[in-house]
Amino acid sequence: MVENQTPKDLNEQINSQKYISKNQSGMPNLSEHDIKKMDAQKKELEKIKSWVIKKFPFTISLGILPPEYIQKIEEEEDIPEEEKKEKRIHIVHIIPEEEFKNIQKIKKEIIEYTRNSKPKLWFHIITPVDIWNFYMDSRHYLTAPIATAFPLHDTGLLGALRVAEIHKNLVIRKFEKYVSSYVIAGSLVRGSATKTSDVDVFIIIDDTDVKRMPRLELRERLRGIIYQYIAEATAIAGTNNKLEPQIYLLTDFWEAVKDAHPVMFTFIRDGVPLYDRGTFIPWKLLLKMGKIKPSPESIDMFMSMGDKTEKTVDRRLIDCMIDIFWGVITPSQALLMLYGMPPPTPKETTKLFREVFQDKEKLIEKKYVSTLEKAVKLFKDYEHGKLTKIKGEEIDKLMKESEDYIKRLKQLRGQIEKAADKNKVEQLDKEVFHLLEHLFGKKSHKDLIKEFEKALVKKGKIPQKMLTVLRDIEKVTHEFKSGKISKDEIETARKDGAILINHLTEYAQRLDLVNLEKTRMRIAFKDKQAELIITENGAFLLQGIEVKKITNKVEKSTVQEFNEAISKQQSKNKLKIDPKIFSLIEEELGKFEIVL
């Protein structure tokens, strides 16, 4: 734990490195003796709890009050000395406000039932209103034990109070005198809190001594630090209630109160301060007395909100139209990309969508293309200032059409993916067996696989695993048509097929190189050199960068024509050479020699 000197102001307090550890949460720590004692008494307490809940099903909470607070509680209730000596376990029993009139009757029945219980018990029967009054009167010696009571039964009140109390203590220990008020509100105060209810808290920070930091930055930094304590408070409290803090600067809050902001009026009216340094409670009392009244300016401001309603609604309906536009245009672009096209602009999307999926592939019906065109037209009209308002019934209709459109797009995606899978399978089959035909001639797939195994795998020229890959490709190609192959199997075959294609390509290139060397002759003439290369598609004479083809004469050719002739060269042991070629070369170059 890092400790600095006491910060001079709130700005320095925010930047300080003071760390609040869990043992600083303000919660009492039960001793090992207390825990063992409670474990021994657990069975009896469970029995009593079950009876109380069954007898009084409206019970909100039952909790064991911490021992360190008992003396003060006994003094508050003026418990006789002889009762104090018995060292009873004190239990808070919280019931709804409407049962307040029955407290004496309830207490009498509980005392009668627990008369001979061990341990001896003392029940404090109160309502939530009593708890809020304790807080309003700043009687923290009563609120602290209730908030930290060990829950025997709880519908949400004790848990919510506990997490708020812990978080409050962490915040106060961090910001010390700068916390003006820490107030709870919402379902907890209304009496409708459950075990999972959010706990709404309002924290007012006194920023009147801040001079250097902008208010917006100050509020955001405060929010960040205070929110850090939420997880710690929740973990210590052991509840499922989620804290929802709202942080206000005192200067901003006071301005909102002066402007009669309805949220602030509600907050002051209904909120209960867990901690207050003389700010919130006076406001609450002044509001109750009718002393806090809105200014004429704030009344005018709130009245003017009615005049803005129509414009606000029109703007929001336009926003709905824009949201629907993006909701249909974006997935449409995605499907065009899935089809294999580059990402289109919104302007291009409608045209391409219709041309590809309706006209060309015939995968989608015209009415769905019309939905897309309608959404795009409305958006374009809005962009160009032609559309300034739209009716709610039009939005409803457009929304229904867009929902149907999105459902249809999901089906279309499946169709496109199926077509894409088909293209992958066909392309893979074509590439692999085209290479095999180049090596072994045009044969059936079955015969090509046999030749592959015999000539390449068994002779160790290609790994054994590639035979399995080739058979898998044949299987995928055959079974894809019947729909028996999964997407994963297709993808696996494609990846493995790429490796097989590399092996076949490398082998074919090595073979072509060997065959090329067999038909390559070096020619020397007049202290110069050239190359004669014989192919099935003619003989070529290469001299420097110049390429010539020899037919009935020597004529100019291109590198492209030469490469095409080489690529089409078949693997053959014998290649016949017409002697006339050498006469034509002599006419072209003069006397020459063949260099081996």
Domain map (residue ranges) of the chain: 309-415, 420-514, 520-595
Q: What is the mean pLDDT of residues 212-225?
A: 77
* CB-count burial class (<10 Å; 0-12, 13-18, 19+) for 579: exposed
For residue 201, the model assigns a pLDDT of 92
Q: What is the mean pLDDT of residues 22-42?
A: 60
- β-pair partners for 431: none
Return phi, psi of residue 386, to 5°.
-80, -25
Q: Which residues contact 467 (CB under 8 A, 6 or more apart)?
A: 449, 452, 453, 457
Helix boundaries (H) for 85-214: 103-113, 128-136, 140-147, 157-175, 187-190
Q: Smallest Cα–Cα separation from 541: which of 532, 552, 553?
A: 532
Which range, 9-18, 370-379, 422-431, is most confident?
A: 370-379
| Strands, E assignment, 358-456 | none
pTM of the full structure? 0.49
| Residue 320, number of CB atoms within 10 A of its CB | 17
| Per-residue confidence band for 61, with pLDDT thresholds at 50, 70 and 90 | very high
Task: Pick left, alpha or beta for residue 365 (phi over 0 → left; psi -120 to 50 → alpha; otherwise beta).
Answer: beta
Residue type at 572? K
Residue 1 has pLDDT above 80, yes or no: no
Which range, 163-167, 511-515, 533-537, is most confident?
A: 163-167
d(C-alpha 543, C-alpha 98), whole Å:
111
Residue 488 has pLDDT above 90, yes or no: no
Task: Pick left, alpha or beta for residue 548 (phi over 0 → left; psi -120 to 50 → alpha; otherwise beta).
Answer: beta
Q: Smallest Cα–Cα separation from 62: which of 77, 47, 49?
A: 49
- Degrees to nearest 5, angle at CA 254 with 251 and 256: 110
Strand order in the sheet with 89-94: 121-126, 89-94, 61-64, 150-154
Residue carrying the six token digits 């100019």: 556
Distance of CA 178 to the CA centre of its chain: 36
